[in-house]
Amino acid sequence: MHSRFIEAFALLPAALQTALEPLLSHDDFPAMLTAAQVADVCAQTGLDDDALAFALLPLAAACSITPISHFHVGAVARGVSGDVYFGANMEFSGASMQQTVHAEQSAVTHAWLRGEAKLASITVNYTPCGHCRQFMNELNSGTALNIHLPGRDVATLGDYLPYSFGPRDLDIATLLMDKFDHGYTLDETDALSKQALQACNQSHAPYSQSHSGIALETHSGKIFAGRYAENAAFNPSLPPLQGALILLNLAGEDYLNVRRAVLIERSQPLVSQRDATRSTLAAIGCTELTALTL
129 is in an annotated binding site: yes
Number of residues interacting with Zn ion: please give it, by CB under 5 A.
4
Active-site position among 7, 104, 116, 138:
104
d(CA 124, CA 280): 27
Q: Mask 81-120, x = binds Zn ion (CB under 5 A)?
A: ---------------------x------------------
Least distance (Å) between residue 73 CB and Zn ion:
8
Alpha helices in 88-238 (DSSP H): 103-113, 130-136, 157-160, 191-201
200 is in an annotated binding site: no
Least distance (Å) between residue 147 CB and Zn ion:
12
90 is in an annotated binding site: yes
Decide: is 68 part of the binding site for Zn ion (CB under 5 A): no
Least distance (Å) between residue 66 CB and Zn ion:
13
219 is in an annotated binding site: no
- Tell how far CA 178 is from the center of its chain: 15
d(CA 238, CA 232): 12
> Quick count: other Cβ atoms within 10 Å of Cβ 249?
24
Helix (H, G, I), strand (E, B) or coil at 1: coil
Least distance (Å) between residue 87 CB and Zn ion:
11
CA nearest to 248, candidates 200, 130, 240? 240
Q: Mark whether 104 is an active-site residue.
A: yes
What are the C-alpha distances in Å from 286 to residues 98, 224, 278? 19, 14, 8
Q: Mask 115-154, x = binds Zn ion (CB under 5 A)?
A: --------------x-xx----------------------
d(CA 157, CA 139): 11
> Quick count: other Cβ atoms within 10 Å of Cβ 160?
19
Q: Which is nearer to Zn ion, 46 or 162 (CB)?
A: 162
Known binding positions for Zn(2+): 102, 129, 132
Known binding positions: 89-91, 102, 129, 132
Which residues in this chain contact Zn ion in the complex, by CB under 5 A?
Answer: 102, 129, 131-132
Known binding positions for substrate: 89-91
> Which residues are known to be catalytic?
104
